[in-house]
Amino acid sequence: MDTAAIAEQGMKPLAEEFARIAAVQDTPGLLAAIARLQYIGASPMCSTPIFQDEKNSARYALHLYQGGLGLPDRDYYFDTDERATMLRREYVAHVGRMFGLLGDDSTQARARAAVVMALETELAGASRKLEALRDPVANYNAMPIEAVSKLTPSIRWRELLEAANIRGVDTVVVGQPEFFRQVEKSLRAHSLEEWKTYLRWHLATSFADAAGGAFDAENFRFYGTVLNGTPEQRPRWKRMLDAEERYLGDALGQLYVARYSRPPPRRATRSSPRTSSPPSAPASAPSTG
């Protein structure tokens, strides 16, 4: 709740993460940086959710899905109506403002925002539309982890997943194989500097609301007001309770139950009429706390 201290620190707690991106010198280093961002909560390049296997409910499965976009889905990058055109223009301006807050001058910020938009548009072009994502069969392609390399020869998936702290995985579910073929093309088509710009953006936008101050304000201006029409943010104390619930909800629920919930009273077992005797009344009603 200390908004002044939060605004003062800004993105400084992420200095090592930004430095790790800046230090990338080759494709393996780039992929290691992507894995690191996936591990800490950003989702560049693709999405890697873990949830119940759709064809085997007794196990959980790692899914490799399309992702890596700053706009909600692929249609935002290609629809031609007036609103979509406006949102793309505003999005590029927003990305540029965020780079400015990171310390880039205006020329650098505009150029880097254009790089982000170009790379994301490529990924969006290979992404399935929302209606296509509703087909559970078409979006389920289980394969050994080594087989995924046929889609993306540049990526050693086992090493990438281990760098993201995901270990012991032999089989994955690839949702949209054509998306990963585009990932391979984009890895080859764009320079390391362009990919580093893209990673820098995704690191910043993933934690902008937590950075407070101008970062939080600009993040809400675009994603809250421009994109969703929300005129003002909810009170901070409500947002903090939401964050607490997301991160600690189950753990706090267990503590609450342990402290305030009592097991129901045991029911007396009815004995045989020949041997039973009337139960004695309790001396006092049980405490309800």
Considering the chain, what is the average pLDDT of its residues?
Answer: 91
The answer as to whether 258 is a domain residue is no
Judge whether 128 and 176 are in contact, CB under 8 Å: yes
pLDDT computed for residue 274 by the predictor: 52
User: Which residues fall within 8 angstroms of residue 266, CB to CB, at 6 or more apart?
Assistant: none
Instruction: Identify the CA nearest to 4 among candidates 177, 212, 181, 160.
Output: 212
Find, among 54, 50, 79, 53, the residue nearest to 64 by Cα. 50
248 in a domain, yes or no?
no
Q: Structural domain tally of the chain?
A: 1
**202: nearest Cα among 60, 82, 43:** 43
> Any idea which of 2-6, 46-50, 272-276 has the lowest mean pLDDT?
272-276
Using a pLDDT cut of 70, give the percent of the chain over it. 92
pTM score, two decimals? Answer: 0.85
Q: Are 196 and 21 in contact (CB under 8 A)?
A: yes
Structural domain that includes position 40: 7-241
186 occurs within a structural domain: yes
DSSP one-letter string for the chain: --HHHHHHHTTGGGHHHHHHHHT--SHHHHHHHHHHHHHHT---SSB--EEEETTEEEEEEEEEB----SSSSGGGGT--SHHHHHHHHHHHHHHHHHHHHTT--HHHHHHHHHHHHHHHHHHHHTSPPTTGGG-TTTT-EEEEGGGGGGT-TT--HHHHHHHTT--S--EEEES-HHHHHHHHHHHHHS-HHHHHHHHHHHHHHHSHHHH-HHHHHHHHIIIIIITT---SPPPHHHHHHHHHHHHHHHHHHHHHHHHH--PPPPPPPPPPTTT--PPPPPSSPPP--
Please answer whether residues 65 and 133 qualify as being in contact, where contact means their C-beta atoms are separated by less than 8 angstroms.
Answer: no
For residue 82, the model assigns a pLDDT of 97
Within-domain flag for 274 = no
Radius of gyration of the chain (CA): 26
Answer whether residue 264 shows pLDDT above 90.
no
286: confidence class by pLDDT, cuts 50, 70, 90: very low
Which residues have CB under 8 Å from 55's CB, separation 6+?
140, 142
Residue type, 243: A
User: For residue 36, is it within any domain?
Assistant: yes
* Alpha carbon distance 116, 113 (integer Å): 5
Residue type, 201: W
pLDDT digits (tens, 9 = 90+) for 113-169: 999 999 999 999 999 999 999 999 999 999 999 999 899 999 999 999 999 999 989
Residue 184 phi/psi, 5° resolution?
A: -60, -45
**Residue 45 falls within a domain, yes or no?**
yes
pLDDT reading at 110 higher than 60: yes
Residue 247 within any structural domain of the chain = no
* Predicted local distance difference test score (pLDDT) of residue 262: 81
Does residue 278 lie in a domain region? no
Q: How confident is the model at residue 267, as a pLDDT?
A: 75
Query: CB within 8 A of 133, min separation 6: which ones?
Result: 139, 175
Chain centroid, CA 48 distance in Å:
9
Q: What is the CATH number of the domain that holds 175?
A: 1.10.1380.10
Quote the CA–CA distance of 24 and 169 in Å, as a whole number.
Answer: 26
